[in-house]
Amino acid sequence: MVDLNYIEELRKRAKKSRVYSKHQSVGLEISEVLDDTKHKALYIKLAKENNSEDLLILAKSIAENKTIRNKGAYFMKVWSEENKKLRPVARKNLKNERRNSDNRK
């Protein structure tokens, strides 16, 4: 027999957030700002691979605009257009720098 209090305790624990790094925190904040909590993992990944401060600024500016119905989709469209402006070589160098800095820790 399983104690019902134990099951209830497990349900409460599952709902608590476990954020261990900055990019996770930023990604969750972006999902809340855009009111798009279904895609938390996407925003966490974007925050990890890109400049998280720029992403957060973009998300907040989009959230302020009341005429946008689907803020998450609009955010991705604007971000992808801005990301295309970077040269592919610059993005590749940026990724390599991040990989090297992660290995040093």
Residue 88 lies inside a defined structural domain of this protein: yes
Q: What is the pLDDT of residues 13-23, one digit of tens each?
A: 888 878 889 99
Is residue 2 situated within a structural domain?
no
Domain count, the chain: 1
Please check the confidence at residue 68 and state whether its pLDDT lies above 90.
yes
Residue 105: pLDDT above 60? no
CA angle, residues 105, 22, 91, in degrees to nearest 5: 75
Per-residue pLDDT for 70 more than 80? Answer: yes
Q: Does residue 29 fall inside a structural domain?
A: yes
Contact 61, 31 (CB under 8 A): no
Whether residue 46 is predicted with pLDDT greater than 70 in this model: the reply is yes
Residue 3 within any structural domain of the chain:
no
Can you tell me the mean pLDDT for 22-51? 94
Q: Is residue 5 part of a domain?
A: no
Higher pLDDT, 88 or 31: 31
In a domain, 13, yes or no: no
Give the domain extent around 44.
Answer: 19-104
Taking 3-state DSSP, the helix, strand and coil percentages for the chain, each rounded to the nearest 5, stand at 80, 0, 20
**Predicted pLDDT at 17:** 75
68, part of any domain: yes
Angstrom distance (rounded) from CA 95 to CA 98: 5
User: Does 99 fall in a domain?
Assistant: yes
Whether residue 56 contacts residue 29, with contact meaning beta carbons closer than 8 Å, is answered with: yes
